[in-house]
Amino acid sequence: MKKKLVHLASILFPQRVVAFAYQQLTSPQIRKLRSHELAVLEQSDRETLRFQDFDIQLYTWPGGSNSVLLIHGWEGQAGNFADLIQALREQEYTIYAFDAPSHGFSSRGKTSLFEFTELVSVLIKKYQVTKLVSHSFGGVATTYALYQNPDLVINSYVLFTVPDRFLERINDVAQQVGITENVKNRLITKLEAETGLSVADLNVSDFVRFLQVKKALILHDKEDTVIPIERSENVKKQWNNATLIPVENTGHFRILRTPEVIAKAVAFLNDKQE
């Protein structure tokens, strides 16, 4: 019923619906963390970084000389990596993580891919890491950050699922919500006017061809209903240094809590095959 109402409003009041859709795209919803995820965050050293108009919450779990930066997805937060963090701590990694602008325990405000991307660049340089892990949309922000900073060299990069074309994200939202093609096109025009970039050019499969990443591993569930595995397959086709391993029975979010998948990620970061 709600989808039909949005479709009708898109016909009668297209500009209002564009404003609503834009608000949805730039105002991430906050998802509650599980108790064990909060407990893992409590074990970290915390600091706040002033970034643009945001107070960014940073987390560090001190360990050995091996270090890694974790990049969560859209509407995600550092705590989503709790199980992976525990596994990496057993391997004596120093682990860095953060809550992106308007995510998790960072301050609120209108945000987008571009603040997220710039922050990832800042943190890779701040921590001087050469190992990365991302989930979902975090892979878009990270590959775009590396594309914009060709001097950054990454030894190992694990991606728990990855989207490809930003336009696909807009199409997905349009279909889910029920907005018309006219409203979708107006939304794209608004985004492009504000960013000065073409939405059609924001594609992970294009970025990865130019990255200084020595090796990458993409882990993606065959039945992921949020980001179809075909999008990771498209990225892999353009990324010579990447390996794609399909997994099963994890979905889009539980993949970060599945021991067998976490073991593959840790083995890859340790330069071992699981």
What is the residue-wise DSSP string for 152-215?
A: --EEEEEEES---BHHHHHHHHHHHHT--HHHHHHHHHHHHHHHSS-GGG-BHHHHGGG--EEE
- Per residue of the chain (274 residues), what is the pLDDT tens digit? 466 776 666 666 667 777 777 777 777 888 899 999 999 999 999 999 999 999 999 999 999 999 999 999 999 999 999 999 999 999 999 999 999 999 999 999 988 878 999 999 999 999 999 999 999 999 999 999 999 999 999 999 999 999 998 888 777 777 766 778 888 888 888 877 877 778 888 899 999 999 999 999 999 999 999 999 999 999 999 999 999 999 999 999 999 999 999 999 999 999 865 4
Q: Are residues 117 and 56 in the same domain?
A: yes
**Is 220 a domain residue?**
yes
**pTM, whole model, 2 decimals?**
0.91
pLDDT of residue 272: 67
Given a contact cutoff of 8 angstroms between Cβ atoms, the answer to whether 274 and 264 are in contact is yes
- What CATH number did the domain enclosing 221 receive? 3.40.50.1820
What the block records as the tokens of 190 is 């608004």
Last residue of a domain, one of 152, 177, 202: 202
Q: Are residues 8 and 49 in the same domain?
A: no
Q: Are residues 180 and 243 in the same domain?
A: no
Q: Are residues 12 and 135 in the same domain?
A: no
**Is 265 a domain residue?**
yes
**Which DSSP state fits 34?**
P
Q: Are residues 190 and 228 in the same domain?
A: no
**Is 21 a domain residue?**
yes
Given a contact cutoff of 8 angstroms between Cβ atoms, the answer to whether 79 and 105 are in contact is no
pLDDT of residue 274: 45
**Is 126 a domain residue?**
yes
Cβ-based neighbour number of residue 226 at 10 Å: 14
pLDDT of residue 273: 53
Given a contact cutoff of 8 angstroms between Cβ atoms, the answer to whether 20 and 35 are in contact is no
Last residue of a domain, one of 148, 178, 202: 202
**Is 274 a domain residue?**
no
pLDDT of residue 18: 73
**Is 207 a domain residue?**
no
Q: Are residues 78 and 184 in the same domain?
A: no
Cβ-based neighbour number of residue 27 at 10 Å: 14
State which residues form the domain around 216. Answer: 31-165+212-269
| CB burial of residue 18 (10 Å; 0-12, 13-18, 19+) | buried
Q: Are residues 36 and 26 in the same domain?
A: no
**Is 6 a domain residue?**
yes
Q: Are residues 69 and 173 in the same domain?
A: no
Looking at the structure of the chain, the number of domains it has is 2
Q: Are residues 120 and 234 in the same domain?
A: yes
Q: Are residues 3 and 84 in the same domain?
A: no
Q: Are residues 54 and 132 in the same domain?
A: yes
Last residue of a domain, one of 145, 174, 202: 202
What the block records as the tokens of 174 is 């349009």
Q: Are residues 130 and 173 in the same domain?
A: no
**Is 95 a domain residue?**
yes
